[in-house]
Structure 1
């Protein structure tokens, strides 16, 4: 089983909001899928274990910190647990679809410890915007 998620996949969403996970990674999601509203209007896709690691700091944030409470509430209230069906499909709720502006054509990207689910047009625009920075990264980016 892969230890991280990589690559780009282009599934289509059906009329019921179902999306098929990449076949290569279905075994990784056999215990469930955690969907989280991500930054940049995408949806983060985690294994349950990956989600626990990702959310640990927010879950354990001090309730006396107003900013931490706001982040914690927003993130955890906008997390959805799914179980893939026999065909490896998950259902994206209408609220999640609206947040990420999803249409039928989607992109699923592997981002190491998570996958991200994007509307295909939104991903194309984001990727084009990032290309110049990737081609000529700033000194100090990623510790380099």
Structure 2
């Protein structure tokens, strides 16, 4: 069963708690543009999360901590990156939305973000390790077929990882 897993890192460093998201869940947008988060993902987004435009044409839902890390890096880069860095920071911030799950675990996806990701009715919510992605179902099935063939390729490194 797909679930959210929390790993505690030992004395070797890193964050105290890291959320990892796994699994694939088919859901529908309702008439108000809301989508239900899988029950196993919900606790990571209490009281809120952040939706952003993903470069691959889907939406990424991030925990506040993960969003803060990325926003912090963008802020630092914008100070030394000139006009391009500032433009990227502006676009990132303007294209993001803070979302608050309701008691049924639904989040409202703003219309602009639904348009960006081509979300109509049928969607797929996937765990992408450090974030949750929301895809139009047809687009996801195309992307997933490509990803599965890449995963099967020897250069994916999966065989080596399994032997460790």
* Alignment TM-score > 0.5, same fold: yes
Higher relative contact order, chain-length normalized (CA < 8 Å, sep 6+): 1
Residues 41-60 of structure 1 mapped to structure 2, 5 A cutoff? 41-60=57-76
| Structure with a larger share of its residues in strand | 2
Does 2:52 correspond to 1:36? yes
TM-score, normalised by the number of residues in structure 1: 0.90
Cα deviations by residue, 1:44-73 (Å, 9 ceiling, x for unpaired): 101111211233211221334233222211
Tell me, what secondary structure is at the counterpart of 2:32? coil
Output the aligned Cα RMSD: 2.1
Q: Following TM superposition, where does structure 1 have runs of at least 4 consecutive aligned residues deviating by more than 6 angstroms?
A: none
Which one of the candidate residues 2, 6, 14 is aligned to 2:5?
2
Residues matched between the structures, number = 143
> Which structure 2 residue ranges, 5 or more long, are not aligned?
7-19
Distance in 2, matches of 1:95 and 1:35, equals 11
**Alpha-carbon distance in 1 for matches of 2:139, 2:156:** 28
State the 1:140 CA deviation: 7.4
Length-normalised TM-score, structure 2: 0.79
For structure 1, list consecutive stretches of 5 or more residues without a partner in the other structure. none
> 2 CA distance for matches of 1:108 and 1:58?
26
